[in-house]
Amino acid sequence: MNHLKQLGIPIALAVGAGFFNWASIQREKARLSPRSYVVIVNEVKAGTVIKPEDIAERQIRSDGDFTGLRAWVDSDLVVGAKARYTLVPGTLITESGLLVEPVSERIESSSVVAHTTKMAKGKTK
């Protein structure tokens, strides 16, 4: 019985170490899971509008800081924007690479379109 008490502590420590090792590996896997970003597949000259066929999804597995890159979920914000400088195939899109009109202009133009559509349908007074 005395031998079981002596073995209990090392066994409990081994189980605890195994659990912490497993948890550490799972956290590392999540941190290095691939993230999707917008990449240019066709050359886009400076000042020209980016079209849907000019971009694609690129997955990157890294723990680096990619805060300036456009995520693939925001790819709809890239299409229709103008390139600030010439973008060659393989370029990852950054915030600084796009010429985007101010948000207030986008809101005004979309409200004008909505109002014009309602007028065409005869729904406004």
Domain ranges of the chain: 1-31, 34-121
Give CA angle at 72 (46, 56), nearest 5°: 60
User: Which of these CATH numbers, 3.90.1210.10, 3.40.50.10860, 1.10.1330.10, 3.40.50.300, describes 34-121?
Assistant: 3.90.1210.10
> Are the C-beta atoms of residues 81 and 99 closer than 8 Å to each other?
yes
**Contact of 70 with 38, CB cutoff 8 Å:** yes
State the burial class of residue 39 (Cβ atoms within 10 Å of its Cβ: 0-12, 13-18, 19+).
buried
Paired residues of 94 in beta bridges: 69
Provide the pLDDT confidence category of residue 42 given band limits of 50, 70 and 90.
Answer: very high
Look up the pTM and report it: 0.54
Which token pair is 117?
């559509």
Question: What pLDDT is recorded for position 106?
Answer: 43
Structure letter (DSSP) for residue 49: B
Q: Determine the average pLDDT of the residues in 29-51.
A: 85
Q: What is the pLDDT of residue 121?
A: 54
DSSP lists the bridge partners of residue 37 as 58, 71
* H helices present in 1-102, as ranges: 2-31, 75-78
